[in-house]
A and B are shown apart, each in its own frame.
Chain A
Amino acid sequence: MPAWLDLVVRVLIVIIVIFVAPLVIGQTEHKVMAHMQGRLGPMYAGAYHGWAQLVADAAKFIQKEDITPRAADRPVFKIAPVISMLPYMIVVLVIPLGPGGLVAQKLDIGLFFVLAVFGLGVIAVLMASWASANKFALMGGLRAAAQLLGYELPFVLAAASVAMAAGTLSLSGIVEAWRPWWLIWQLPALVVFFLAGLAEIRRTPFDMPIADSELVAGYLVEYTGLRYAFFMLAEYAGIFVISALTTVLFLGGWKGPFGLDTELGWLWTLIKIACVSFVVLWVRIAYPRLREDQLQRLCWLGLVPAALAQLVLTAGVKLAL
């Protein structure tokens, strides 16, 4: 296969993944949430158990009127939803599915790349919130920025811990170096990374930037139709990315208990991603939203010290071995 064809195929696969995975997660969320609340969820869109609910949503969103508020900053308002998707698309490029280069783009400092690009999602939020010319949107954007500035720290520190343990910044390298006992050794980092990741993608219980009972819809308040759909897609793509990163960094990626790692590694990765995504949905249904001060408190008094202690522990164990 020529190099350019290879590249095109890989990029195509990534685009398909980034558009299909959020739909799957969204549909799962509908069903999981419904059954956790003793309901059934969508049943009529699509013949079997409402499987096409999100397809119907998409078909509707393209028909919706495209509204731009008169006071809005039009170009910024219109470009923000597209930018919200970009970081997640780029991150998916470097997440390894299986051993032996089952990855769209190999990168030696993949971890650094992921952390750098992941933080850019908030810029789209800031653009959307400011350009909407709406006070609720602006408040949502400010909350998002404050949240991101806080949670970026434990997020990076927890990732640094596992990178230090593996002795590499390559995502594939981290999976190669991973051993089952790391589940215990890196457990605090896993928890910190997962929680900070939830906060970074503004997912319940850290969804204060949206907080529909306080801020109507935060930065989404003026968006309709396809632009709104893009933001929703970005949110669910964020779940996929955070689950994939947790899987690759802390749960051993393609390593399974039965030894078929080279053949079925991608399957293990997908199963683990699905499980972590399920936990993300589960947490949303079980817990209410934190208050803004509780959010900052949890970050600075809980997650940051925990991440620092984990760093010290990792360094200690690494030196002792």
Chain B
Amino acid sequence: MKGIGLAKGLAVTFKTMTRRSTTQQYPDVDPELPPRSRGVIAHIEENCTVCLLCARECPDWAITIESHKEEVIVPGAARARQRNVLDEFNIDFALCMYCGICVEVCPFGALHWSPEFEYAEYDLRDLVHSRDRLREWVMTVPPPPAHDRNGAGAKEEVVAEKALAAAAASAPSQVDACPNDGSGRI
């Protein structure tokens, strides 16, 4: 029948009208952000060793770091030790492309994604955020989400489990074979 589609169109829209709308009323109600959503990058200065890895890996050169060296005199040591002291740590969020490479490469866990999204500015220059602002955002970094219960486990766990299973299966006959790849090489 030809008119069925037309009637369906009316029915669907009417049905939707009688249901509750799905809108999240953002300014009044905090939005539900998905886990791991990328808002801004928070910087924990205590973890930062000023290794400059993040600044060098950044594809946009959005991170600028300034530091100086200090001598730490350790009593009894043959000579004074040196230590990097952070002077400035700026991220230009206008330029940042949210790739997260800086967060990935940081060996000391100084950089973290924060889901904070209220950072629009009237002036482009205000989008360069410095140490203080980056430190404030540390408070908004959520704890890392739990592993997906149905997802694949961490690689180490999977390998270990497989090895255990293989060992259990082959335990009576081949004791000395490598459980890992079965090639016989150790």
Is the CB of A7 closer than 8 A to any CB of chain B? no
Known contacts A39-B23, A40-B23, A43-B25; A286/B17 CB under 8 A: no
Q: Give the distance in Å from the alpha carbon of A36 to the alpha carbon of B16 in the complex.
A: 5
The majority secondary structure among interface residues of chain B is helix
Interface size on A, residues (CB 8 A): 14
Q: Which of B6, B12, B21, B25 sits near A35, CB closer than 8 Å?
A: B21
Q: A38 contacts B21, CB within 8 Å?
A: yes
Which residues of B lie under 8 Å from residue A38 when comparing CB positions?
16, 19, 21-23
Q: Which of A32, A35, A286 sits near B10, CB closer than 8 Å?
A: A286
A20-53 vs B, CB cutoff 8 Å, 1 = contact: the mask equals: 0000000000001011111110010000000000
Interface residues on B, range: 10 to 19
Is the CB of A139 closer than 8 A to any CB of chain B? no
Q: B14 contacts A287, CB within 8 Å?
A: no
Is the CB of B174 closer than 8 A to any CB of chain A? no
Q: B25 contacts A36, CB within 8 Å?
A: no
Distance in angstroms from A249 CB to nearest chain B CB is: 23
Is the CB of A282 closer than 8 A to any CB of chain B? yes
Q: Give the distance in Å from the alpha carbon of A282 to the alpha carbon of B16 in the complex.
A: 12
The majority secondary structure among interface residues of chain A is helix
- In chain A, positions 261-304 with a C-beta closer than 8 Å to chain B are 282-283, 285-287
Is the CB of B9 closer than 8 A to any CB of chain A? yes
Is the CB of B150 closer than 8 A to any CB of chain A? no
Taking CB as reference atom, which chain A residue is nearest B9? A286
Distance in angstroms from A181 CB to nearest chain B CB is: 24
Which residues of A lie under 8 Å from residue B9 when comparing CB positions?
286-287
Q: Which of A32, A39, A283, A285 sits near B21, CB closer than 8 Å?
A: A39
Q: Give the distance in Å from the alpha carbon of A35 to the alpha carbon of B21 in the complex.
A: 6
Q: Beyond A283-B10, A287-B6: 10 further Cβ-contacts under 8 Å?
A: A35-B16, A36-B13, A36-B17, A37-B16, A38-B19, A39-B21, A43-B25, A282-B14, A286-B9, A286-B13
Which A positions have Cβ atoms within 8 angstroms of B? 32, 34-40, 43, 282-283, 285-287
Which B positions have Cβ atoms within 8 angstroms of A? 6, 9-10, 12-14, 16-17, 19, 21-23, 25
Closest 10 CB pairs of A and B: A286-B9, A36-B13, A35-B17, A36-B17, A40-B23, A286-B13, A38-B22, A286-B10, A38-B21, A40-B21
